[in-house]
Amino acid sequence: MSADILIETRHLTKVYRDFWGRPKKVALRALNLQIERGEVFGLLGPNGSGKTTTIKLLLGLLFPTEGEAFLFGRPASDVAKNARIGYLPEEPYLYRFLNAEETLDFYGRLFNMPAARRRQRAAELIELVGLTADRKRVLREYSKGMRQRIGLAQALMNDPELVILDEPTSGLDPIGTRWMKDLIHDLQRRGKTVLMCSHRLDDVQDVCDRIAILHEGELQELGAVRTLLQDADRVEMQASGLPLSEELRQDLEALVQKYGGRLDHLGHPTTTLEALFLRIVAESKAHPGRRYLPSQS
């Protein structure tokens, strides 16, 4: 195994059983994966396709029915590997009676970090996830998005080499989503490896280098996002400051035909709702109290 492969699964299979050991549900079938250092890898699939199961197997929370999983070249059941991993669960399962500072301090102790380092690291992370003002409030009072943020802070407490994110953007508003994506990019820039799973395709598309698509516990597709999505026989062109007119259309059509193509569509691109939302919020921040009316600008 090359040193650069952080995660490897061989024929990984999970069958959920009932109390008597009778099979109940085949959640994962013979998964073979290799994830390299520095990648952002996306695990994609509809609800119940086995994404969370895969991650739990990798973390040693579940034990494989067949096959093996290795992280950092060690079996998944090895506890010591956790020192190099940060994990954000599907929902941040944290103690609701602790406040943000106490939560981070608690997990820091589990990493056997000395008190001074725990304090410093906790302050940094609370700043990073933007909870400085709420750091003394108990998690019971947090909103879903705030819990997701403290969950992320908790996952980064040990400055992990490998970050595993289960539905990182669930519960986050578009700004939070953007922020999360930037953070993932940032992690990648700092040489970390990220394994995330999601069924929000746009998120995956934006941040992942490679993806695997699961359905009913079976691997359907695996490859680099760019090559998977590239539509090789279509060409896109965008221009600005160009008024739309029938004349322009005819000229362009002729030009395209000259090169052996066919013009399918010409018009204003519709912006994504995400882009619109981000613009509105940015405007509202710049001029608080003023309603943003796009038609007037």
- Residue 48 engages other proteins in binding (rule: CB under 8 A): no
Instruction: Name 136's Cβ contacts closer than 8 Å, sequence gap at least 6.
Output: 99, 100, 101
Residue with the two structure tokens 């069924």? 199
CB of 166 to Mg ion, least distance (A): 6
> Binding to other proteins by residue 98, rule CB under 8 A?
yes
Tell me the C-alpha distance between 67 and 106, whole Å. Answer: 34
Give the three-state DSSP class for 195.
strand
Q: Note whether 83 binds other proteins by CB under 8 A.
A: yes
CB of 103 to other proteins, least distance (A): 10
**Closest by CA position to 45, among listed 55, 35, 36:** 55
Q: Is 66 an interacting residue with respect to other proteins (CB under 8 A)?
A: yes
Which DSSP letter does residue 90 get?
Answer: S
CA-atom Rg of the chain in angstroms = 23
Helices within 190-267 (DSSP H only): 201-207, 225-229, 246-258
Report the nearest approach of Mg ion to the CB of residue 281 (Å).
29
Q: Is the dihedral of CA 79, 82, 83, 89 positive or negative?
A: negative
List the single partner that 102 binds among other proteins, ligand ATP, Mg ion, none, CB under 5 to 8 Å by kind: other proteins
Q: Report which residue's Cβ sits closest to ligand ATP.
A: 52
- The least CB distance from residue 168 to Mg ion, in Å, is 12
Distance, first Cα to last Cα, the chain = 59
Stretch that binds other proteins, among 38-46, 57-65, 201-209, 283-291 (CB under 8 A): 57-65
Cα separation of 174 and 287, whole Å?
20
Q: 77 vs 132, which CB is nearer to other proteins?
A: 77
Evaluated on CA atoms 101, 148, 176, 60, the torsion sign reads positive
Give the one entry of ligand ATP, other proteins, Mg ion, none that residue 50 binds, where binding means its C-beta sits below a cut-off of 5 to 8 angstroms depending on kind: ligand ATP
Residues that bind ligand ATP (CB under 6 A): 16, 24-25, 27, 45, 47-53, 90, 199
Partner touching 270 among ligand ATP, Mg ion, other proteins, none, CB below 5 to 8 Å by kind = none
Q: How far is the CB of 73 from other proteins (least distance, A)?
A: 16
52 binds Mg ion (CB under 5 A): yes
The binder of other proteins chosen from 3, 21, 231, 289 (CB under 8 A): 21
- Look up residue 199 and give its amino acid: H
Euclidean distance between CA atoms 232 and 149, whole angstroms: 39
Q: Which residues bind other proteins (CB under 8 A)?
A: 16-17, 21, 56, 59-66, 77, 79-83, 85, 87, 89, 91-95, 97-98, 102, 106-107, 109-112, 138, 154
Name the residues that contact Mg ion, by CB under 5 A: 51-52, 90
